[in-house]
């Protein structure tokens, strides 16, 4: 579980770092052909108008430049286009994004440029256009290879579509490919999780992201659960499927470097790692979040309201917060525990060290020297453990 090349463990009690230059950008593409049964993302089921999308993003960046708080550095390290379904924007979308972000910012030879895609809309034309623009990492929303499960979710692709999308990505020269899978599905679907893992590994992706199914109240799934028309998996099934995935991926050479993310050596997501390390980042588009200490803020969630908001004098914000010392400490605990960086026990009170020892006896964590890291079993109850440790520090 330990990665010798990983950054140092998180020092929970260190003072907040001075905000640095913003070298990582997330861009939200909200358009979807259909809203999935479980989806709680900021999506819009509408035609993907690339020109309107690019125009709104351009206006947002101009307002940020006038404001002066979240201005991009001259060079970017990571750029991530998420959604929604960015592949619905077509082959020229990423080329059109170049002048919006600034072509000179994307000339870094080490730039990681990720774009998400759904299998049914990731065509040869889209792949070729994106590759030509500079995208070098693809994240495919496969979710499952089980036809009844895909139909229940509301997905528009089948197992063959997922395989075809991977083949297209490889043929077009993408050497950094991630796939998403969902576990913890209702038992009545009779989805074979082990088979889905085998199917995914047979495609030889470089990175795998796992997501446990949750029922958010505003989603069709959430309403179905609340009304008794649907049941989620029980805790035992959820735990068994997660631990099976951790073991199976480890056997295949994938390191669990974060609670939901697994990578072959050299293929960790550098963009996502920015979120987990407390570095500054900018989010563009509806519902996107930005952070530059001490300010975290987020844009208007609905696409139409965001688009109209970009026509105003300031950024199209929904709200923001300023992180005080207590919030920074709590986030550091949570971010340290969710990754293989772990938490430094140095300078922590004896009550926190004693709690860490109890976690280790319960196989929830491993302490190596002054570094505490959660095991996969610990990751399953990470939120509870975060609150427990925070309580020790408050005391």
pLDDT, one tens digit per residue, over 162-175 is 999 999 999 999 99
Helix, coil or strand: residue 103: helix
Question: What pTM was computed for the model?
Answer: 0.95
Query: Can you give the pLDDT at residue 47?
Result: 86
**How much is the pLDDT for 84?**
94
Q: What is the pLDDT of residues 28-47, one digit of tens each?
A: 999 999 999 999 999 999 88
Task: Please name which of 83, 144, 380, 115 lies closest in space to residue 256, comparing C-alpha atoms.
Answer: 380
pLDDT exceeds cutoff 80 at 278: yes
- Quick: pLDDT tens for 288-330: 999 999 999 999 999 999 999 999 999 999 999 999 999 999 9
Cis peptide before 301 (omega within 30 of 0): no
Which residues are registered as beta bridge partners of 139? 116, 178
* Cβ 79 vs Cβ 114: under 8 Å: yes
User: What's the pLDDT band for 17 if we cut at 50, 70, 90?
Assistant: confident
Whether 338 shows a pLDDT value over 50: the answer reads yes
Per-residue pLDDT tens digits for 357-389: 999 999 999 999 899 999 999 999 999 999 999
Q: Across residues 214-224, what is the average pLDDT?
A: 92
Fold topology of 24-277:
pyruvate-formate lyase- activating enzyme (3.80.30)
- Burial class of residue 131 in the structure, from the number of CB atoms within 10 Å of its CB (0-12 exposed, 13-18 middle, 19+ buried): middle
Eight-class DSSP state of 106: G
pLDDT reported for residue 347: 85
pLDDT at 244 exceeding the cut of 90: yes
pLDDT of residue 7: 67
Domain ranges of the chain: 24-277, 341-394
Mean pLDDT of the chain: 94
pLDDT of 3 > 50? The answer is: no
* Residue 105 pLDDT: 96
Question: DSSP E strands: which ranges in the chain?
Answer: 24-29, 31-32, 44-45, 78-83, 112-117, 137-143, 177-183, 207-212, 255-258, 261-263, 282-284, 289-292, 295-299, 317-322, 343-344, 365-368, 371-374
């Amino acid at each position: 579980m330990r990665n010798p090349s990983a950054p140092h463990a998180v020092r929970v009690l260190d003072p907040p770092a001075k905000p640095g230059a913003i070298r990582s950008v997330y861009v939200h593409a909200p358009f979807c052909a259909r809203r999935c049964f479980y989806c709680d993302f900021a999506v819009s089921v509408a035609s993907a108008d690339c020109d309107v999308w690019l125009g709104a993003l351009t206006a947002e960046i101009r307002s940020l430049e006038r404001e002066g708080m979240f201005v991009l550095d001259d060079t970017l390290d990571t750029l991530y286009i998420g959604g929604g379904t960015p592949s619905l924007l077509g082959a020229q979308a990423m080329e059109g994004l170049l002048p919006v972000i600034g072509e000179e910012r994307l000339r870094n030879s080490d730039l990681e440029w990720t774009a998400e895609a759904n299998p049914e809309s990731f065509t040869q034309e889209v792949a070729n256009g994106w590759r030509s623009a500079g995208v070098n990492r693809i994240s495919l929303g496969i979710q499952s290879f089980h036809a009844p499960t895909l139909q229940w979710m509301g997905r528009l692709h089948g197992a063959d579509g997922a395989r075809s999308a991977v083949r297209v990505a490889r043929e077009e020269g993408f050497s950094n490919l991630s796939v998403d899978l969902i576990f913890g599905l209702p038992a009545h679907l009779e989805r074979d999780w082990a088979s889905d893992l085998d199917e995914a590994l047979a495609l030889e992706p470089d990175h795998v992201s796992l997501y446990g199914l949750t029922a958010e109240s505003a989603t069709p799934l959430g309403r179905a659960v609340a009304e008794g028309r649907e049941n989620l998996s029980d805790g035992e099934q959820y735990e068994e499927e997660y631990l099976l995935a951790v073991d199976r991926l480890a056997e295949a050479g994938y390191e669990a470097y974060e609670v939901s993310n697994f990578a072959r050596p050299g293929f960790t997501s550098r963009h996502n790692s920015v979120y987990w390390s407390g570095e500054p980042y900018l989010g563009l588009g509806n519902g996107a979040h930005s952070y530059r200490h001490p300010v975290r803020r987020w844009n208007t969630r609905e696409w139409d309201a965001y688009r109209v908001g970009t026509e105003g004098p300031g950024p199209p914000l929904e709200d923001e917060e300023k992180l005080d010392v207590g919030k920074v400490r709590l986030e550091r605990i949570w971010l340290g525990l969710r990754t293989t960086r772990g938490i430094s026990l140095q300078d922590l009170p004896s009550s926190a060290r004693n709690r860490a020892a109890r976690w280790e006896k319960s196989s929830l964590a491993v302490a190596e020297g002054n570094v505490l890291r959660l095991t996969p079993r610990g990751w399953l109850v990470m939120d509870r453990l975060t609150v427990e440790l925070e309580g020790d520090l408050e005391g």
